[in-house]
Amino acid sequence: MGMSDGAIPKKRPFTALLTNFLARTGLSAPLLPRLFAHVRWLIAPNLYNFGYALRTTIASLIALGIALWWELGSPQWAALTVWMIAQGSRGKSLAKARWHMFGMVVGTLAAIGIVAISPQQPLLFILLLATCIGSFCFIGTLLPGPATMTNYRIHGMRASGFTVAIIALDGSADPDHIFMIAMSRATYITLGVVIETVLSSLFQFRLNERARERLAGNFINAVGNAAQALAMTLTGDRKALRNSPEMLASLASLGDQIEFAEIEMGKHGHEGDHARAALSDIAALFSRALDLSALMDDPSSYGTTWQKVADRSHDFLLSLPDRLKDPPEFPGLMAELASLRADCRLDAATCLDIEMNMVTHPPVKAAAEIAVTREGQALHVLGDMLDQLQEALTQFEASRNPLPHDRFHFAMRTWRDWRIAFANSLRASVSIFLAGVFWFATAWPDGIVFVMFVCIVCALFSTLETPAMASRAFLHGALCVSAVAMLITFWVVPAVTVYEMLAAAFVPFMMIGGLAFANPSMILGAVAYNLFLTILVAPLNQGRTDEILFFNTAMPLCLAMAFCTWMYRVFLPLDPDGVRWDMRQQILRGLRNLARKPHPALPRDVVGISVERMVRLLNTVAGRRGPVIDAYLSGVLSGMTVGLAILNLRGILTRAELPPAAAHDVQQMLARMAQFTGRYGGHYGRTERATRLAVISLERQEQVETNLSQRVEILRALASLRVISAELTTNRLFFDASSPYLDPVFS
């Protein structure tokens, strides 16, 4: 068969024509795969996403049909509730449904109280409404878990704000019937929750087994990423921990998933507590790795003993993820880890014995003694790291194979900034109050709908870390759903006479929204699309809809989205520079508190706070890292490392086994750290110098100390001091508060 133009077979004329057309237009064939990639979520979704969209579409249409059958006044709210709580997994849906019901009860009671307190007092009414939703945002920000749309404790407060808005605003026009209005709205919400919960349970199979498999799979993925970074660190790669912020942030998100797995497992033991403890131990592994990385500044100090143990540990860490996937392999894996830990401790003790021989048989060769000392310190820290890994694996095994009569508990903890909570509350309250004032001032007949949508957006997004970005995506979704709803309202609804035909017309449009929600890049716009589709169409029992009502709903909806987007940008907007600056000040203040408070934070609290700071840093830039964010993430990691070293030094002082001179040096260093870059940032140099002098002094004392127990304590203190000194030197600009660091706006 001949060829045409040396490239395109003659038997494929369409391909030839298409290629020629793309060439003439300046485009190329690779454009097609790129276009396909952008719409793959729609034309080639995976079975999981398709199932979610189909299940939720059916549930929302059943809820809408029942509400129409019961001749409820606003049946579209039942369908909206289904889309509001529907999630991809059974555990997520149940968790969200529970907190949504809780929020509905709280919001209903609050709405009745607001309307009862302010009859014929519009200004007082809108002030109370704004304050109430602002209070819900304040409480939601302080609840446990990340400030994301997947945190369903916060969703409970969002649902409270949503409920109080739709009940109180309708009730303000007819306060005498506020109780009936509240009960009807609560009926819609309860109907939607029940239908979605029941239907989602029918689409689940092997729920308990799959929840346990997902719990184990999440840990194996987490430990695999951590093991890779730790193994590279043992080879001397100082950049191996560069991506640890993303790894630690992923640990936070995995911890959020444990709650959903617990719900899916139904009646269970303490698997979730063990899984949370295992993830916490993985996070602590990074702090051990940072300590080790700081001690490995001079690799020439480590001899063959260190290299042998490091190579074995490196191979063990790389093989760890695959071996964890095979449960029968676990006992052998733990036995190998125990042997590795024992050899590491034995080699560290051997280094100590060599040092003691040097000290007791003068003259002492300083260079050789320092090399042995540093090798012993590195082996000791490596042993601590392996101990931490052993604890993590033990907790993992307890989560995979529950223990009988287990009473272990590991609480979910969170760390919130009261200033952020107050800012979120004030942002929501002021936005709602200004919207209400605009309604009163203009006497807009449909202004109540505008205020209602403003309340809904503020309740949903004010607790997020980037509300402006979220509301902008919501605005795009509102514009899309307005166009789709106009098509349905003016073309589909007038042509149908029975609900079955209306439901069939809704199916393709709802399926598109469900598939878009399953696409992470479109999730916020899809939320707006799914929530407001039935609200804008507003089907009635007569089989038709009011076209005028559509315009009187669509226009306030789009204006409310635009208003909230504008308010989030002009009133208390997110300032990434300010967030980083405040975070830096908090880190420095936290180090001072760790050094001087009589009851400092626990090590796991230091790690947890640092992880949340990393998550917030990444969220402020939507995960897009750059030189500034990288530098700040490095600073947060460094602050965590210094904080843990301070706690180690305080623990050593508490044991009171240090020689008096060494204890005095450590106390002097902590006294300086208690004023570390405090007022006016004038104490960085003094603290750095005090740490360096303490290292020199303890090294001199360690070289002549003949008491074994005191020598061990000196070495432990010396290791922590060396870590602090290395971090203060490496991240000088971050720790010196007199420097604006990388934020030119503060220079």
Percentage of the chain surpassing pLDDT 70?
Answer: 86
- Provide the b/e sequence for 38-50 (b: ≥16 CB within 10 Å): eeebeeebeeebe
The SS3 assignment for 496 reads coil
Higher pLDDT, 271 or 207: 271
Higher pLDDT, 287 or 544: 287
Mean pLDDT of 519-537: 90
Mean pLDDT of 643-662: 91
For residue 570, CA distances in Å to 131, 255, 565, 574, 616 come to 20, 34, 9, 9, 21
For residue 246, tell me if it sits in a domain. Answer: yes
- Assign 340 a pLDDT band (cuts: 50, 70, 90): very high
| Contact of 494 with 501, CB cutoff 8 Å | no
Q: What is the pLDDT of residues 488-508, one digit of tens each?
A: 988 888 888 888 998 999 999
Q: What per-residue confidence (pLDDT) applies to 124?
A: 94
Sign of CA dihedral 578, 581, 585, 591: positive
Q: Which domain holds residue 390?
A: 216-400
Q: What per-residue confidence (pLDDT) applies to 268?
A: 62
For residue 13, tell me if it sits in a domain. Answer: no
Residues 6+ apart with CB under 8 A from 647: 594, 600, 601, 603, 606
Residue 194 CB coordination number (10 Å): 18
Q: Could you tell me which residues are beta bridge partners of residue 4?
A: 8
Q: What per-residue confidence (pLDDT) applies to 548?
A: 83
- Assign 279 a pLDDT band (cuts: 50, 70, 90): confident
Give the integer Cα–Cα distance in Å for 272 and 215: 8
Q: Are residues 294 and 396 in the same domain?
A: yes
Give the integer Cα–Cα distance in Å for 584 and 635: 8
Type of residue at 399: S
Give the integer Cα–Cα distance in Å for 223 and 337: 15
Mean pLDDT of 358-372: 72
| Contact of 242 with 94, CB cutoff 8 Å | no
Residue 15 has pLDDT above 80, yes or no: no
Residues 6+ apart with CB under 8 A from 6: none
Higher pLDDT, 49 or 416: 49
For residue 15, tell me if it sits in a domain. Answer: no
Domain boundary among 353, 370, 400: 400
Of the given ranges (127-141, 229-243, 328-342, 343-357), which has the lowest mean pLDDT?
Answer: 229-243
Q: What is the mean pLDDT of the chain?
A: 83
- Assign 301 a pLDDT band (cuts: 50, 70, 90): low
Closest C-alpha to 459, from 74, 167, 255, 185: 167
Give the integer Cα–Cα distance in Å for 99 and 157: 8
Per DSSP, the residues of 323-359 read HHTSGGGHHHHHHHHHHHHHHHHHHHHHHHHHHHHHH
For residue 377, tell me if it sits in a domain. Answer: yes
For residue 92, tell me if it sits in a domain. Answer: no
Q: Omega into 556 within 30° of 0, i.e. cis?
A: no
The SS3 assignment for 9 reads strand
For residue 368, tell me if it sits in a domain. Answer: yes
Residue 153 has pLDDT above 90, yes or no: no
Closest C-alpha to 95, from 264, 210, 214: 264
Mean pLDDT of 173-182: 90
Q: What is the CATH number of the domain that holds 320?
A: 1.20.58
Give the integer Cα–Cα distance in Å for 275 and 400: 9
Higher pLDDT, 617 or 113: 113
| Contact of 733 with 309, CB cutoff 8 Å | no
Q: What per-residue confidence (pLDDT) applies to 166?
A: 93
Q: How many domains does the chain fold into?
A: 3
- Provide the b/e sequence for 655-664 (b: ≥16 CB within 10 Å): eebbbeebbe
- Assign 416 a pLDDT band (cuts: 50, 70, 90): confident
- Assign 277 a pLDDT band (cuts: 50, 70, 90): confident
Q: Are residues 515 and 585 in the same domain?
A: no
Mean pLDDT of 317-334: 90
Q: Are residues 508 and 371 in the same domain?
A: no
For residue 581, tell me if it sits in a domain. Answer: yes
Q: Are residues 473 and 392 in the same domain?
A: no
Q: What per-residue confidence (pLDDT) applies to 19?
A: 55
**Residues composing the chain:** 747
Domain boundary among 574, 606, 632: 574
Residue 170 CB coordination number (10 Å): 21
Q: What per-residue confidence (pLDDT) applies to 745?
A: 43
Sign of CA dihedral 621, 625, 631, 632: positive
Q: What is the pLDDT of residues 725-744, one digit of tens each?
A: 988 888 888 888 777 666 55
Q: Are residues 560 and 548 in the same domain?
A: yes
Task: Return left, alpha or beta for 690; rule: phi > 0 is left, psi -120 to 50 is alpha, else beta.
Answer: alpha
Tokens representing 632 are: 């700040």
Of the given ranges (39-48, 362-371, 388-397, 562-571), which has the lowest mean pLDDT?
Answer: 362-371
Q: Are residues 272 and 372 in the same domain?
A: yes
Q: Are residues 565 and 587 in the same domain?
A: no
Mean pLDDT of 378-383: 86
Q: Are residues 232 and 372 in the same domain?
A: yes
| Contact of 721 with 672, CB cutoff 8 Å | no
CB half-sphere exposure, 188, CA atoms < 13 A: 25
Q: Are residues 557 and 581 in the same domain?
A: no
Give the integer Cα–Cα distance in Å for 93 and 658: 56
Tokens representing 618 are: 């990444």
Q: Are residues 561 and 614 in the same domain?
A: no
- Rounded to two decimals, the pTM is 0.82
Domain boundary among 549, 574, 599: 574
Q: Are residues 557 and 623 in the same domain?
A: no
Tell me how far apart the 2 most distant CA atoms of the chain are, in Å.
Answer: 104
| Contact of 584 with 635, CB cutoff 8 Å | yes
Q: What is the pLDDT of residues 16-34, one digit of tens each?
A: 554 565 455 554 445 445 5
Alpha helices in 547-683 (DSSP H): 547-570, 576-596, 603-620, 627-655, 660-673
Q: What per-residue confidence (pLDDT) applies to 12?
A: 47
Mean pLDDT of 436-456: 93
For residue 156, tell me if it sits in a domain. Answer: no
Q: What per-residue confidence (pLDDT) applies to 3?
A: 39
Tokens representing 223 are: 């430990």
CA angle 305-311-316, nearest 5°?
A: 130
Q: Are residues 347 and 472 in the same domain?
A: no
| Contact of 328 with 398, CB cutoff 8 Å | no
Sign of CA dihedral 731, 737, 743, 744: negative
